[in-house]
Structure 1
């Protein structure tokens, strides 16, 4: 299986190839992190990733996690979703889509582009071009 459009990788060799395609040097720690986050489409926080990686044996520092995630975002391998100033998620699905954020559960879920339409998109400021669209619809559990 070799599907990199949605970044679904299943083994170390494919992960190394994908990192190289994004001009990321595949160090052991970067490969370990990428294997975990790119195995499926998912949303995760950096601290959750740190805990998962170091569950059995502390091998990756918090700084390494944050630096690696920043590099992956910068290179376009993953997306950063800022729900509010205190809550940042990372998204392994880089295909166009939007999100629901449940304030009560802290869960971020996808909204497919086909399920959302905009009646009007404003004119962009002169001399600019669109770099993307991020919509987060915040919800609460019904009483």
Structure 2
């Protein structure tokens, strides 16, 4: 992944901010400000969920986020985590990736990009958008426009050749 691509992923970094300011891990105040700028009340639970996702480029399920919050001794309901993730995705602060009908992963990298999905481990890895090129695009249905194109390349270990 290119450093230019990875540097652009952060939804919490204001490009117009003072360049001498710390642009590393977002502060709780910066996250609360981002929530407010996206029309969300920065409740403690929302800030905490966003903080876990925005601390670094990551892909996490709602269950993983819930476990991390509870591991820190905080009390939060499963419904609160799911509802918070839903609204964060709707407002463009995180991306929801549907891996299958039963499982979604939330991605802190909000710029368009693609993924490798390891079917054995469940791990997602970002693919730099510059590493994929389309030579053709299908004709879209009349009156429709493409909002986004997301490619997920599902990986499995190579199988041994027969007789080996």
TM-score by length of 1: 0.91
Give yes or no for the alignment of 1:38 onto 2:15. no
Residues 1:11 and 1:58: Cα distance change in structure 2 (over 3 Å) = closer
Matching residue within 72, 79, 82 for 1:56: 72
Aligned residues of 1:4 and 1:18 also touching (Cα < 8 A): no
1-structure distance, mates of 2:99, 2:77: 24
CA shift for structure 1 position 4: 8.3
Name the SS of the counterpart of 2:116 in structure 1. Answer: strand
Matching residue within 25, 30, 34 for 1:18: 34
Aligned residues of 2:9 and 2:108 also touching (Cα < 8 A): no
2-structure distance, mates of 1:83, 1:5: 21
- Specify the alignment match of 2:162 in structure 1: none
- Look at both structures and tell me which one has the larger radius of gyration over its CA atoms: 2
Aligned residues of 2:9 and 2:57 also touching (Cα < 8 A): no
Aligned residues: CA RMSD: 1.7
Deviation >4 Å, runs of 4+: none
2-structure distance, mates of 1:75, 1:23: 8
2-structure distance, mates of 1:61, 1:7: 25
